[in-house]
Structure formats: C-alpha cells, structure tokens
Amino acid sequence: MIKVATIILALMAAVPVAVPTHGYLSPATGAAVASANMGFFAAIYFTLRKYFHKIMRIFKRKDVSQENTPS
C-alpha cells in the first residue's frame, strides 16, 4: 500500500513541472490537424457506405413484375 501511495505522490508531483520545448506550432497547425481528422473520418464513412450498399444489393429481392415486362 505504501508503494502505491508513493507512486501516486510522485506522479502528482511531476505533473505541474513545465518542460521547455524546442519546437513551434503555429496557430494554423490546429486547423490542419482538424482538417486531416475530418478527411479521415469522411473517407471511412463513404467507404463503409459504398460497401454497405453493395452488400445490400446482393440480398435485395428482385421485383418479378419488372423482369417480365418487354423492353
């Protein structure tokens, strides 16, 4: 129990320490990351929608009345 308390205390003491960074992220970086995320999820959505419709077309019943009509 004492080891767990010591670890938690050490983690709580380490959190507020500010570490200097050697990089710069411009304000436009957030917009680029947001745009990339939206594009990623849009690609997943449209891919799943495409394959969902292909699979549903396989299981869909054909209308018999449309097959017997002359063209």
pLDDT in tens, 11-60: 877 776 667 777 787 888 889 999 999 999 999 999 999 999 888 888 88
Whether 53 is in a domain gets the answer yes
pLDDT of residue 5: 85
Q: Which structure tokens are listed for 35?
A: 């745009």
Q: Which structure tokens are listed for 20?
A: 């200097």
Which amino acid, 40? F
Whether 52 is in a domain gets the answer yes
Whether 30 is in a domain gets the answer no
Task: Work out how many domains the chain is built from and give that number.
Answer: 1
Residue 54 belongs to domain spanning: 37-61
